[in-house]
Amino acid sequence: MYALTINSPAVENLIVDFLREGFQKAGLSRAVVGLSGGIDSAVSCFLAAAALGRENVLGVRMPYKASSPESLAHAQMVIDQLKIDSLTVEITPMVEPLIEKFPEMSSVRKGNLMARQRMIVLYDQSAATQALVVGTGNKTEIILGYTTLFGDSACALNPVGDLYKTQVRQLAAHLGVPEVIIHKPPSADLWKGQTDEGEMGITYEEVDKLLFMLMEEGKTVEDCLQAGYSKDFLKAVFARAKANRFKRNLPPIAQAGGKSISEAVFDRVI
């Protein structure tokens, strides 16, 4: 069996149980999901609807003036298929004042700004509707740091964060996500023509196999070289993962003599 192949029905059941338990612990029953028109947000939305019921899920589209009309249409396909409540919030007037203030702003800075503004919208809606923000970042993106800190990486619960991109595609097919969403080139839609693989310079299929060998099978660098990966490719992946390690951890707290925060303290019965 292909190493990255998952038992999609079993994975769906596991994640649905994870979401139900997480919402129960939080004492809430509604979810907010940012719908980009891409596969990750679609799968997260399908899973949230399965766990909580479609009546308890709000899908939010947040276009920028340069966003692809196709992305909006694909997000709407998810909304229509699941029959969930939806909201469209144009972020252009929210981010343009800062972009105009810094005309030298790079595409990356603009993309980060848009991602963080979108999360502001989602968390505002979570407060307005007494809901939790459901995340959409997959394991490949998390390892490689292809995410915006306090932007698309922010959430209360992440149903797909332990699935590599190629595994998300398998689960999407099982859940009935529209095929046009499954098969289109992944893109954060942060600027015209932008694609994930083009920006990173690697394909998800190629890097997922390598990450699976390293993370799940415990293979060594030498094993990967013998499997046919070039040293340059390995160096590039390792460098990206190391450089973005800070995105995967909570900010370090300087210890000033007190004890580290322990949530177990508050699990005691009063």
Residue 193 in this model has a pLDDT that exceeds 80: no
Residue spans per domain, the chain: 8-252
- 36-45, 235-244, 249-258: the lowest-pLDDT one: 249-258
Cα 58-60-64 angle, rounded to 5 deg: 175
Residue 132 in this model has a pLDDT that exceeds 50: yes
pLDDT mean across residues, the chain: 92
**Which two structure tokens, joined as six digits, stand for 16?**
């649905």
Residue 34: phi and psi, rounded to 5, are -80, 120
Q: In what order do the strands lie in the sheet with 131-133?
A: 85-88, 57-61, 30-34, 131-133
- Identify the residue with better confidence: 186 or 44: 44
The mean per-residue pLDDT over the stretch 8-29 comes to 98
- Identify the residue with better confidence: 259 or 10: 10
- Identify the residue with better confidence: 149 or 268: 149
- Residues pairing with 59 in the sheet: 33, 86
Distance CA 77, CA 181 (A): 9
- The terminus-to-terminus CA distance of the chain in angstroms comes to 51
Distance CA 136, CA 151 (A): 11
CATH superfamily of 8-252: HUPs (3.40.50.620)
Distance CA 92, CA 70 (A): 17
Q: pLDDT value at position 42?
A: 98
The mean per-residue pLDDT over the stretch 187-216 comes to 79
- Identify the residue with better confidence: 13 or 260: 13
**Position 198: which residue type?**
G
Residue 194 in this model has a pLDDT that exceeds 70: no
Distance CA 266, CA 262 (A): 8
* Length of the chain measured in residues: 270
Task: Yes or no: say if 160 and 43 are a contact pair by the CB < 8 Å rule.
Answer: yes
The mean per-residue pLDDT over the stretch 182-189 comes to 79
Reported as a single tens digit per residue, the pLDDT across 136-175 is: 999 999 999 999 999 999 999 999 999 999 999 999 999 9
Assign 86 to helix, strand or coil: strand
What angle, rounded to 10 degrees, do the helices at 165-175 and 204-215 form? 110
Reported as a single tens digit per residue, the pLDDT across 216-249 is: 999 999 999 999 999 999 999 999 999 999 999 8
Q: pLDDT value at position 1?
A: 38
Report the predicted TM-score, pTM, of the whole model to 2 decimal places. Answer: 0.92
Reported as a single tens digit per residue, the pLDDT across 92-130 is: 999 999 999 999 999 999 999 999 999 999 999 999 999
Q: pLDDT value at position 252?
A: 85
